[in-house]
Amino acid sequence: MRIAVIGDGAMGTLFGALLSQNEEVSIISLSQDTSAERTRKGIAVDGKLLHPVFTADPHSVMVPDLLLLFVKSSDTESALENASCLIGEHTLLMTLQNGAGHEAIMRRYAPMERIVIGKTEQNASLVDPFTVHHGNPGGATVLSTNGSDLVPVLGKAGFPSSVSDDINRIVWRKLLTNASLSAATGVLGSTIGFLGRSEHASALVEALLREAVDTAAADGYSFDFDEVLAAIRKQCSEDTGSRTSIERDLANGRRTEADFITGYVVRKAAEHGVQAPVQNAVLSILHAKEDIAAHADKER
């Protein structure tokens, strides 16, 4: 199978590198300066050297069977526009990105029957441009049913996968955690563990979760609030020093994926007439913190 991965960060590099063991893989790099060197040196995934091809020029890549999105959610539109030359009449578009609502953008480039929505529990971090640490290698990846042909391809690469005929429920379940726990760490600039140690932080997480659960129910997906809260509290007690991508992005002056996480909940709440004042306030705060970083030089 010919595969192109858009995004050369930790997750894009991880998936591209491991898939390259058995498939023809190109990773669309964000930097021409590093793409040639990464291609030449290869990528070490927990000690195993692999050789996907990196390029900053989508036109240098043959139209793939699968185009896999691993960019920040906020960059989805520009990434697809830049790589539109890779979308053939039979190309599958697949997203394993954080958040929800990506298909609304993807449908501008392909019909829904060729759009595969997925969620993964895999994670990764870049030790350096040539080295990837593979976190949670046994983590499940679940795809919409039109991605059934991809299950053995992902499995052979080391990503245990399955399909679900209710992928939206799986998307919502992950969103409940991201729109409460992750959003709270962004607002507070804290680790995950702090949310469990602070009474006030815990109250914020619960308020966010309550509104997200109510919104999911209005959207047709009911969840047990106490069950989800217990899982979040367990994560706070176990991942004490861990940081979320929202918190890291803000700490590094980057824009977040808030519009596809908290923003998705806010939009769905408005659509269904659900009151979500805390989600709305948190979305404003996250964007305000992005603005502070964007205008840091002027603020000094």
For each of the chain's 300 residues, which pLDDT tens digit applies? 999 999 999 999 999 999 999 999 999 987 667 899 999 999 999 899 999 999 999 999 999 999 999 998 889 999 999 999 999 999 999 999 989 999 999 999 999 999 999 999 998 989 999 999 998 888 999 999 999 999 999 999 999 999 999 999 999 999 999 999 999 999 999 999 999 999 999 999 999 999 999 999 999 999 999 999 999 999 999 988 888 989 999 999 999 999 999 999 999 999 999 999 999 999 999 999 999 988 765 554
For 86-144, the DSSP string reads G--TTPEEEE--SSS-HHHHHTTTS-GGGEEEEEE--EEEEEETTEEEEE-TT--EEEE
pLDDT of residue 298: 57
pLDDT of residue 300: 47
The answer to whether 88 and 121 have CB atoms below 8 angstroms apart is: no
pLDDT of residue 242: 86
What pTM did the predictor assign? 0.89
Q: How many CA atoms lie within 13 A of 126 on its CB side?
A: 13
Cα separation, 76 vs 130, whole angstroms: 25
Structure tokens that stand for 42 in this block: 């290869």
pLDDT of residue 33: 78
pLDDT of residue 299: 52
The answer to whether 54 and 8 have CB atoms below 8 angstroms apart is: yes
pLDDT of residue 295: 78
Domain 168-292 class in CATH: mainly alpha
Closest CA to 121 of 110, 107, 135: 135
Q: Which residue in this structure is represented by tokens 């010919």?
A: 2
What's the CATH code, domain 2-165? 3.40.50.720
Domain with CATH 1.10.1040.10 in the chain: 168-292
Domain with CATH 3.40.50.720 in the chain: 2-165
Residue by residue, what is the 3-state secondary structure of 61-92? Answer: CCCCCEEEECCCHHHHHHHHHHCHHHCCCCCE
